[in-house]
């Protein structure tokens, strides 16, 4: 077996779709851990609940709210724009292209922060997203 070696990668030199690829997984782990820790144990319930957080529509809505509240730093905003404006040859089924582009920008921010090893900031943004989704669900149920 070979030992895994970690290279230092400058996220500024990576394409936005590469950042989004990583960010998709990073954000998903935050959500999965949150859902399991909240007491949901059945895989089908976990999957169904996760879509409220990780779908392109949910991510686009979260990003729009982040921007409205000016939560992103200047650098994060620039990374978002790179991700949103990236030329992608695929998009999510049953999702408008504009929504998909915004969600790609959202994921690019998470990928960028992960590569910069900004774990505190990642946690802050993921926690904010979780609170937003849960508040919306509470408001919707009321």
Pick from 87, 116, 114: which is nearest to 23 by CA? Answer: 114
Give the number of C-alpha atoms closer than 13 A to the C-alpha of residue 33, restricted to the C-beta side: 9
Active site residue 141: no
What's the distance, CA 116 to chain centroid?
A: 15
**Residue 88, SS3 per DSSP:** coil
Asked whether the beta carbons of 108 and 19 are under 8 A apart, the reply is yes
- Catalytic residue, chosen from 10, 24, 139, 141, is 24
Active site residues per annotation: 24
């Amino acid at each position: 077996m070979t030992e895994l070696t970690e290279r230092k990668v400058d996220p500024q030199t990576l394409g936005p779709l590469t950042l989004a690829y990583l960010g998709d997984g990073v954000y998903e782990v935050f959500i999965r851990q949150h859902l399991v820790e909240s007491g949901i144990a059945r895989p089908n319930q976990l999957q169904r609940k996760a879509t409220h957080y990780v779908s392109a529509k949910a991510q686009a809505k979260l990003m729009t709210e982040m921007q409205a509240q000016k939560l992103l730093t200047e650098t994060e905003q620039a990374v978002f724009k790179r991700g949103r404006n990236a030329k992608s040859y695929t998009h999510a089924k049953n999702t408008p292209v504009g929504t998909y582009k915004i969600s790609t920008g959202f994921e690019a921010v998470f990928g960028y922060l992960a590569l910069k090893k900004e774990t505190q900031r990642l946690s802050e943004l993921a926690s904010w997203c979780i609170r937003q989704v849960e508040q919306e669900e509470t408001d919707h149920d009321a």
